[in-house]
Amino acid sequence: MTSTDPSSLAAAKARYDDERAKRVRDEGVGQYHSLNEYQLDQDPWADPNFTRDPIIEEVEVVILGGGFAGMLAATDLLRRGITSFRIIEKAADFGGTWYWNRYPGCMCDVDATIYLPLLEETGYMPTERYASASEIFAYCQLLGRHFGLYEHALFQTEIESLKWDDDARRWDLVSKRGDQIRTQFFIAAGGLMHKAKLPGIEGIELFEGKAFHTTRWDYDYTGGSPTESMDHLRDKVVGIIGTGATSVQVVPQLARTAKEVYVFQRTPSAVGVRAQMPIDAEWFRSLPAGWQQERMRNFTEVVTGNTEEVDLLGDGWTAAMRVDTQTIPTTDEQRAELESIDFEVMEGFRRRVDEVIEDKETAEKLKPWYGKHCKRLCFHDEYLQSFNLPNVHLVDTDGRGVREMSAAGPIVDGKEFPLDLLIFASGFEVTTGLVDRLGFDPVGRDDVLLSERWHDGTHSLHGVITAEFPNLFVVSFIQAGFGLNFVHFLSESANHITWLIKHCLTEGIASIEATVEAEDEWLQTLWKRSGAIAQYNKTCTPSYGNSEGARTMLAARGAVYPGSLMAYAALLDDWRNAGTLEGTRVVPNS
């Protein structure tokens, strides 16, 4: 039993409520804008003059997306002996988020031995415990070569339309490059966070300086590279909007070279110790067969509150998430215990601010006042330290965010901040409609549009299949399981989807889709089990994790299977093993 001074806890809870109230906005996710509204969506890494002849072909499977989701779906198809597939990718290479995000300092704060998939299959040893973006991107290319995925890929290609032909029981896909591809199965693996967003700021279009989103870093302007210093910034005044996990990694790099750096903050992140270290080759080579799956499982169990598990990873994540404080307490004693644990974890983050930050006023503004499950935690050893440097200035907006912009720069509390460069570290769309994030509107049976069928949010069985859209599989944690280690979730999702495809091919099934009844039942299951999270979320500051605090049907249908990803994986496993394909409508080959 932990003991916390009740008055400190009560004061913290009151402060959490105050901070939340400052931030809730009626617009919810509607406050944000897309990059292409402001012509900020160009791919800085691709050859804009690339052309190729269109192709006309028929395959068994089309995978949309060449990030880890698409690559894992592809390697799983190969594992199951399915070789007739195409991967369609907007970018010019594999990598997904690791293709786009090449901002300085970019890395993954989840342990590389569980984040980089298929390490046992490729024999690759990560160099450091927390791999840099460059290393991860190179590893994606290695996966592409190792598994022969390049020959399946159509890069710099976007889908124009996707239409189900119910007589042929095939999808007809047309790309913006004129390709016409007929496929039996379609996997939407376009990424969990692939669509970058801009903050809703009045007059944002007026800004006359240089501006870009962190996913579209312009090294021509800043100089340097992901590993070299940005020398062109030495005489530049730079602003950055957003203080989430991306900004936490970028700010220390800007601080190194820019003349002045203004960090515009709406809500401070909780930033713990990262403790980077090289991977010990002897230890790595001594790991027994099956070690990666076991390590992934162990991490997922530990960070979703399975206290029976031995903590194999032992890092900031496992320490902070060891106890799931979103659990609904059954006794007053347990309630007090959970509140106390949550408070103490967050107090640890707040104490670290006091230990690191020299200026007391700045320290107060950098303290996170919310529960530990409200926002994604961050781990970094240079971010907070940056605010002790004379060229780094925190512009705290007291929860309001930057709301006004002039030609010169952001305006906060009536004060204008003239900038040469403005960087948007404002994140990605997560819980907006799938069609919006896909960039095209699939046409299902009887010409029904996915945007119509899902006008009020996701309708699915297990988050994967949907009625009236046969053989369309979605990789997304909306209505599915979720793992702090995204790649673990993607592996489970790819495994399930490719099992379904293989099953259809071997059992002579032409198409499979969810029944409406099964979708409704699944939603009820999610809602019944989500009570604890919903209860906890009520006290949370808005974030992408809770649809920016929205109370809409879209947000409600965006529920995630609560609890451990392992529980979701076990549920899928049981469903597959039952062999009845319960809740689906299946049409045999004619």
Tell me which residues touch ligand NDP (CB under 6 A): 23, 107-110, 193, 199, 201, 241-247, 249, 264, 266-267, 376, 401-402, 425-428, 543-544
By DSSP bridging, strand 170-175 and strand 180-188 are antiparallel
- Choose between 109 and 519: whose C-beta lies nearer to ligand NDP: 109
- CB 393 to ligand NDP: min, Å: 15
The C-alpha atoms of residue 132 and residue 136 are separated, in whole angstroms, by 6
- CB 40 to ligand NDP: min, Å: 15
- Choose between 200 and 439: whose C-beta lies nearer to ligand NDP: 200
The C-alpha atoms of residue 54 and residue 556 are separated, in whole angstroms, by 41
Contact predicate 322/484, CB 8 Å = no
**Class of residue 289 by CB neighbours under 10 A (exposed 0-12, middle 13-18, buried 19+):** exposed
- CB 252 to ligand NDP: min, Å: 13
Q: Which residues touch 288 (CB under 8 Å, ≥6 apart)?
A: none
- CB 276 to ligand NDP: min, Å: 12
- Choose between 217 and 454: whose C-beta lies nearer to ligand NDP: 217
- Choose between 201 and 461: whose C-beta lies nearer to ligand NDP: 201
Contact predicate 288/279, CB 8 Å = no
- CB 376 to ligand NDP: min, Å: 4
Q: Which residues touch 347 (CB under 8 Å, ≥6 apart)?
A: 8, 12
The C-alpha atoms of residue 404 and residue 186 are separated, in whole angstroms, by 43
- Choose between 245 and 550: whose C-beta lies nearer to ligand NDP: 245
- CB 497 to ligand NDP: min, Å: 22
- Choose between 412 and 472: whose C-beta lies nearer to ligand NDP: 412
- Choose between 201 and 258: whose C-beta lies nearer to ligand NDP: 201
Residue 373's nearest CA partner among 118, 562, 140 is 562
Q: Which residues of 227-240 are buried (b: 16+ CB within 10 A; e: fewer)?
A: eeebebbeebbbbb
- Choose between 173 and 321: whose C-beta lies nearer to ligand NDP: 321
- Which parts of 227-288 are beta strand (E)? 237-241, 260-265, 271-272
**Class of residue 352 by CB neighbours under 10 A (exposed 0-12, middle 13-18, buried 19+):** middle
- CB 313 to ligand NDP: min, Å: 14
Phi (first) and psi of residue 425, to 5 degrees: -105, 55
- CB 97 to ligand NDP: min, Å: 8
- Choose between 110 and 251: whose C-beta lies nearer to ligand NDP: 110
- CB 450 to ligand NDP: min, Å: 25
- CB 373 to ligand NDP: min, Å: 13
The C-alpha R_g of the chain, in whole angstroms, comes to 24
Residue 48 tokens read as: 């804009």
Residue 159's nearest CA partner among 53, 47, 39, 64 is 64
Strand, helix or coil for residue 455: coil
- Choose between 398 and 447: whose C-beta lies nearer to ligand NDP: 398
The C-alpha atoms of residue 379 and residue 317 are separated, in whole angstroms, by 8
Helices (H), ranges, 396-538: 434-438, 450-453, 486-507, 516-529, 531-537
Cα torsion 462, 463, 464, 470: sign? positive
- CB 91 to ligand NDP: min, Å: 17
- Choose between 171 and 264: whose C-beta lies nearer to ligand NDP: 264
Contact predicate 25/541, CB 8 Å = no
- Choose between 144 and 199: whose C-beta lies nearer to ligand NDP: 199
- CB 403 to ligand NDP: min, Å: 6
Strand, helix or coil for residue 262: strand
- CB 136 to ligand NDP: min, Å: 10
- CB 175 to ligand NDP: min, Å: 28
Q: Given strand 410-412, what is the order of strands in its sheet? A: 404-405, 410-412, 415-416
Strand, helix or coil for residue 169: coil
- CB 95 to ligand NDP: min, Å: 14
- Choose between 249 and 530: whose C-beta lies nearer to ligand NDP: 249
Residue 472's nearest CA partner among 57, 96, 58, 171 is 171
Calculate the CA dihedral of residues 217, 220, 225, 230 and round it to 10 degrees.
Answer: -100
- Choose between 264 and 417: whose C-beta lies nearer to ligand NDP: 264
By DSSP bridging, strand 237-241 and strand 421-424 are parallel
- Choose between 94 and 544: whose C-beta lies nearer to ligand NDP: 544
Residue that has been written with the tokens 């949907």 in this structure: 466
